[in-house]
Amino acid sequence: MSTLIFDAHLDLSMNALEWNRDLTQPVQTIREREQHLTDKPDRGRGVVSLAEMRKGNIGLCVATQIARYVTPESTLTGWNSQAQAWAQTQGQLAWYEAMEAQGEMVQIRDKEGLQKQLNLWESAENTENLPIGYILSLEGADSLVDISYLEKAYLKGLRAVGLAHYGRGVYAYGTDSEGGIGQQGRELLKEMEKLNMILDATHLCDTSFREAMDWFGGAVWASHHLCRSITPHNRQLADEQIKVLIERQAVIGMALDAWMMIPNWVRGKSTPENTGLKLAHIVPHIDHICQLASNSLHVGIGSDLDGAFGREQCPQDLETIADLQKLAAILQQRGYSPQDISNIFHQNWLRFLERVW
């Protein structure tokens, strides 16, 4: 039996609604249906479906809602008002609810639900018909029209929030921008703390990261991040940020987006084949965090697979998300113990949630 995997970052509803992918279908069926499409670079190259998650023993995940608000002068894609962004996240929530009604997924809101899902998957002889447990997370808080919307979202199951995505957000500055969290960001963090919601530090620019850590007293994780010392870019975590997260008892999820894994990736030119990119390239990032922590207790998987990229921009030895299981043998060959591998695959995330909840 393969080891249970907890993947802390999957944009499932974005794929369902914006990429128009029926994730209840096999990956090959989804690819075939997209062969004639050219609107997105990853058409016909997706790697995620619910069936492939079950095949890979990925019984638990953090699943996102995502809808960015953009100002008229912004060059980023997004929604032209926060109200539109909110409506988009509610459509995404409706898709998750439809998956629950079909028995495909089950939302996890608390420690009891987490334990029930864990018992279900660990006791099953066959996982091919089991529901996938998901914890709802908001990637970028722009869709919260005002602070009152946070409690509305919490009551619908939202348990983790990232303040920003790319560029300047309503509540903080994200990747490829620079600035602080401001008064609105501080108020949002205060309300999150009251509701015992998790702050996802992913995508925060350096200043917003530092200010968020100063202002927020609750639980923090970084769902999908890699190391700046290996792949230099503001999207990655600097060593001092990793040390802060370790001090805060955080877990950092390893992302499998090619340009984050190895330096000098050139979009549109680099390929997994001409760079030799493989799953093993994630190990130096894991090693680096484990060395800074002096243990394997702060690293997990947050794959970000099909997060607006597919096989053209992920390790060449990963055909579908089920191939995350290959990491066990790779880590074992690098000297990681069975306990270390279990920590990285699921136990670190589980311990985090059991402590917070």
- What string of DSSP letters covers 208-233? HHHHHHHH--S-EEBSS--BTTTS-S
What's the confidence (pLDDT) of residue 192?
98
What's the confidence (pLDDT) of residue 26?
98
* pLDDT reading at 247 higher than 90: yes
Q: Tell me the pLDDT band of 251, cut-offs 50, 70 and 90.
A: very high
* pLDDT reading at 354 higher than 90: yes
* pLDDT reading at 341 higher than 90: yes
SS3 73: coil
Domain parsing of the chain, residue ranges: 6-356
What's the confidence (pLDDT) of residue 193?
98
Interval 171-203: pLDDT, tens? 999 999 999 999 999 999 999 999 999 999 999
Which residues, in sequence order, are CB contacts of 10 under 8 Å at separation 6+?
A: 48, 61, 62, 63, 64, 303, 304, 305, 306, 307
Distance in angstroms (rounded) separating the CA atoms of residues 207 and 212: 8
Interval 31-48: pLDDT, tens? 999 999 999 999 999 999
What's the confidence (pLDDT) of residue 2?
86
* pLDDT reading at 1 higher than 80: no
Residue with tokens 């390893």: 254
Interval 81-93: pLDDT, tens? 999 999 999 999 9
Distances (CA, A) of 75 to 40, 49, 72, 270, 271: 17, 31, 8, 24, 26
* pLDDT reading at 159 higher than 70: yes
Q: Tell me the pLDDT band of 61, cut-offs 50, 70 and 90.
A: very high
Nearest to 59 by CA among 11, 111, 123, 15: 123
What's the confidence (pLDDT) of residue 281?
98
Q: Which fold has domain 6-356?
A: TIM Barrel (3.20.20)
Contact 260, 235 (CB under 8 A): yes
What's the confidence (pLDDT) of residue 268?
87
Instruction: Give the other-Cβ count within 10 Å of 183's Cβ.
Output: 9
Which residues, in sequence order, are CB contacts of 353 under 8 Å at separation 6+?
A: 111, 114, 135
| Backbone phi, psi, residue 163, to 5° | -65, -35
| Backbone phi, psi, residue 124, to 5° | -80, 140
Interval 131-153: pLDDT, tens? 999 999 999 999 999 999 999 99
